[in-house]
């Protein structure tokens, strides 16, 4: 069977899986190197391309790979580094870089919606409506070596996400490293990202 025939068979039998793979390939690609260069701060590239790192993490988030070790094995040739170097690179990704990845991905996905002639939903006539909410990053048993002998675990950080009701996508993220910081401390940054006739829907924490 030809490659085209195989693809058509997959599209027929598992359309969602094919669509997901196509979207991941379009959003997470070599252009992530541009995102890295403009937002990397103290991070450096060297042997591990950021686009491959993002692809590995994206596949874990989507359930295509079960954990970091499996993702490393799959992309080992592209990563051109040891497993420890891969883990170390993941641990050193800076908050501002993570935020820029969300913005870039949302912009790419919005462009795809436009190509599909998608008509944005209208929650409130005349306004662009967004929801704002925070969530503490999930705790993990894989604690820092220095804290494994302590009864009290370190508090995780917080992420405040902006949900776009017109496109049903999260298009902005604000990462708080300080575990004791209130979610409302990001409001100045949230306001800077607003345009005329933008409406924020949020709970009493904001």
CA triple 110-158-43, angle to 5 deg: 70
Which pLDDT score, from 0 to 100, does residue 65 have? 86
Q: Say whether both 82 and 14 belong to one domain.
A: yes
Q: Do the strands 198-202 and 128-136 form a parallel or antiparallel pair, or are they unpaired?
A: parallel
> How far is the C-alpha of 146 from the C-alpha of 38, rounded, in Å?
33
Query: Would you say residue 105 lies in a domain?
Result: no
Asked which of 91, 111, 132 is the last residue of a domain, the reply is 91
Closest CA to 104 of 28, 22, 37: 28
pLDDT in tens, 61-76: 878 888 889 989 998 8
- In the chain, at which residue ranges do the beta strands (DSSP E only) sit? 128-136, 158-164, 169-176, 198-202
pTM: 0.76
Q: How many domains does the chain have?
A: 2
Residues 13 and 86 occupy one common structural domain: yes
Vertex 26 angle, CA 113 and 132, to 5°? 55
What is the DSSP annotation of 19-53? HHHHHHHHHSSTTHHHHHHHH-TT---TTS-HHHH
20 lies in some domain? yes
Residue 96 belongs to some domain of the structure: no
| Domain limit, last residue, from 91, 110, 129 | 91
Residue 146 lies in a domain: yes
Q: Of 71, 91, 111, which one is at a domain's C-terminal end?
A: 91
Q: Which domain holds residue 189?
A: 120-202
Domain annotation covers residue 102: no
The verdict on 13 and 85 lying in the same domain is yes
Computed on alpha carbons and rounded to an integer, the radius of gyration of the chain in Å comes to 20
State the helix-helix crossing angle for 50-61 and 15-27, rounded to 10 degrees: 150
133 within some domain? yes
CA separation (Å) from 184 to 149, 156, 176?
33, 17, 11
- 20 and 73 assigned to the same domain: yes
Residue 100 lies in a domain: no
Residue 44 lies in a domain: yes
pLDDT number for residue 146: 65
pLDDT of residue 201: 94
User: CA geometry: angle at 15 spanning 101 and 61, to 5°?
Assistant: 30
Residues of the chain with pLDDT under 70: 1-4, 40-46, 137-155
Please report the sign of the dihedral spanned by the C-alpha atoms of residue 148, residue 137, residue 28, residue 17: positive
Whether the CB-CB separation of 56 and 71 falls below 8 Å is answered with yes
The confidence score (pLDDT) of residue 182 equals 85
């Amino acid at each position: 069977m030809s490659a085209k025939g195989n693809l058509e068979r997959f599209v027929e039998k598992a359309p969602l899986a094919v669509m997901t793979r196509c979207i991941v390939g379009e959003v997470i690609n070599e252009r992530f190197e541009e995102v890295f260069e403009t937002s990397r701060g103290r991070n450096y590239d060297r042997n591990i391309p950021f686009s491959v790192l993002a692809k590995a993490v994206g596949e874990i988030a989507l359930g295509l790979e079960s954990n970091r070790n499996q993702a490393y094995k799959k992309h080992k040739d592209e990563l051109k580094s040891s497993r420890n170097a891969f883990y170390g690179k993941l641990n050193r990704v800076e908050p501002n870089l993570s935020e820029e990845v969300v913005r870039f991905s949302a912009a790419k996905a919005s462009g795809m919606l436009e190509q599909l002639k998608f008509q944005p939903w209208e929650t409130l006539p005349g306004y662009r409506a967004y929801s704002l909410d925070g969530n503490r990053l999930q705790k993990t048993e894989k604690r820092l070596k220095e804290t494994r002998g302590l009864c009290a675990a370190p508090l995780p950080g917080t992420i405040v996400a902006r949900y776009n009701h017109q496109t049903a996508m999260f298009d902005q993220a604000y990462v708080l490293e300080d575990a004791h910081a209130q979610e409302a401390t990001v409001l100045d940054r949230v306001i800077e990202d607003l345009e005329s006739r933008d409406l924020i829907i949020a709970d009493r924490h904001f």
